[in-house]
Amino acid sequence: MTHQHDRTLRVGSLARVEGEGAMHIRLDGGGRVEQARLEIYEPPRFFEAFLRGRAHTEAPDITARVCGICPVAYQISACLAMEDACGVSVGGQLTELRRLLYCGEWIESHALHIHLLHAPDFLGYASGIEMARDHRGDVERGLEIKKVGNALMTLVGGRAIHPVNVRLGGFHRVPTRQELQRFVPELRRALELALETVVWVAGFDFPQATAHHRLLAVDAGDRYPVDGGSRIMTDADYGFRVDRFEDYVFERQVPHSTALYAELADGSTYLTGPLARYNLHSAKLSRHAATAARAAGLGAECRNPFRSIVVRAVETVYAIEESLRIIEDYEPPERPWVPVPAPPRAVRGVGVTEAPRGLLYHRYDLAADGTIAQARIVPPTAQNQAAIEAELCDLVEAHRDLDDLRLTELCEQAIRNHDPCISCSAHFLHLHLERT
């Protein structure tokens, strides 16, 4: 069937995403997409502006408030950037504890997205609440996994949302070995539940789609990237050092969004997040995570964005296994933090980590008095925005015979494939280069 007239698909307020966004797609009479927009109308909060003049030590606590869903990502990226600016390297068990805290955030955020936000699309419900009427056990399992992630963040960070224990150079207080050991049974239980979730989501029906964008993820050496790394990897034949990020990635502003669009220097769109991490680093997954991925039908490469829910489930298994490994190897460091004094001259530092939904870049310029002269943050959803729109175009053209209601639902599901974090994307955007 060919529609003889123009069609517009519009969702005024996207649900089950974090923050405020809308979708607007216009097709011409021939069924070709004229425009596909993910509109971000989240009010701007100007973090980059009011960070100026703040002490370098304040960045982790202030930037955590960009996002209540991934505050640890902001705290750790800020710490890495400030430590880079000050020429301090943390390392050892303090870095392991950061990774442990970060695993807590992955577990919490992924469990929330899989079970309450994304699975309802595959099973045909308006929400996890409605879905629980027929799939109570699956929702309860998700909540139980999520709770363990929150408990881990509370144990290491003091609380789950905006943890209080992170500071430049490490932590205010580090846990004893016994405090962490006591948490092992909960993690073991969560591991079993997370493996069940991989099997559950692997059985969903996945619409056909292929992501053609470039993929970007942190390169953490022989480890699956979570809490940072010194290089960024792409699926093309190049990678680059973290301090070259702004030579490779450019942002531009568009009228329909309070977020900026990121693209690579050659003008191509790219994707960060679970799909990118998995495609670039699946060989580094832990034992159970790798086995679960294979059993779920994920090969070495997975380019279907609808299967990102499976990748998220595998990454949840990984984060739990990794937490168990860190706790097993943990020896309390001699001191809870290393000093990170600001040098008495202007300096610059960058830090990159893998938030649950993708790469998060921080850069700070410090004045000679140790206050922030300029801040720049590039959040994951701003980077993914152009790729999401490109995927919507492909999807709508491939499924244009669906009626408006069904096609709109499919588009919403496609947006949720990338777990967009819209609060983040609106808040930190700083124009570097504008191109039209």
C-alpha pair distances (Å), 206 with each of 14, 122, 150, 151, 297: 21, 8, 30, 32, 12
Residue closer to other proteins (CB basis): 30 or 137 = 137
- Nearest distance, CB of residue 21 and other proteins, angstroms: 10
Report the amino acid identity of residue 8.
T
Instruction: Please give the structure tokens belonging to residue 169.
Output: 């150079």
Minimum CB–partner distance for residue 68 and other proteins (Å): 2
In the complex, minimum distance from the CB of residue 321 to other proteins, in angstroms, rounded to a whole number: 21
CB closer to other proteins, 61 vs 322: 61
Strand, coil or helix: what is 242? helix
Tokens (6 digits) for 258: 């309070």
Shortest CB 111 distance to other proteins, Å: 9
In the bound state with other proteins, the residue whose beta carbon lies nearer, of 99 and 135, is 135
User: Looking at beta carbons only, is 20 or 192 nearer to other proteins?
Assistant: 20
CB of 328 to other proteins, least distance (A): 24
The minimum distance between CB 15 and other proteins, in angstroms, equals: 4
Report in angstroms the alpha-carbon separations of 93 from 150, 151, 153: 21, 20, 17
Q: Which residues are within 8 A (CB) of 3 and not within 5 positions of it... i.e. 6 or more apart? A: 27, 29, 31, 400
Is 251 or 354 the residue whose CB approaches other proteins more closely? 251
Q: How far is the CB of 272 from other proteins (least distance, A)?
A: 20
CB of 13 to other proteins, least distance (A): 6
Q: In 3-state terms, what secondary structure has residue 302? A: coil
Most distant pair of Cα atoms in the chain: their distance: 73
Count of CB atoms situated within 10 Å of the CB of 142: 28
CB within 8 A of 137, min separation 6: which ones?
none
- For other proteins, the closer of residues 147 and 284 by Cβ is 147
CB atoms within 10 A of CB 406: 11
Q: By C-beta, is 296 or 375 nearer to other proteins?
A: 375
The number of CA neighbours under 13 Å toward the Cβ of 221 is 4
203's CB contacts (< 8 A; 6+ apart) are: none
Closest C-alpha among 430, 424, 431 to residue 63: 424
Helical packing angle, 92-112 and 308-329, nearest 10° = 150
Site for other proteins, rule CB under 8 A: 13-20, 42-50, 52, 54-55, 58, 61-62, 65-69, 71, 112, 116-117, 126-130, 132, 136, 139-140, 143-144, 146-147, 150, 158-162, 164-165, 167, 171-173, 253, 255, 258, 336, 412, 423, 429-431, 434
Q: At residue 167, what are phi and psi to the nearest 5 degrees?
A: -145, 165
**Inter-CA distances, 115 with 123, 143, 298, Å:** 11, 8, 19
Nearest approach in angstroms of CB 113 to other proteins is: 11
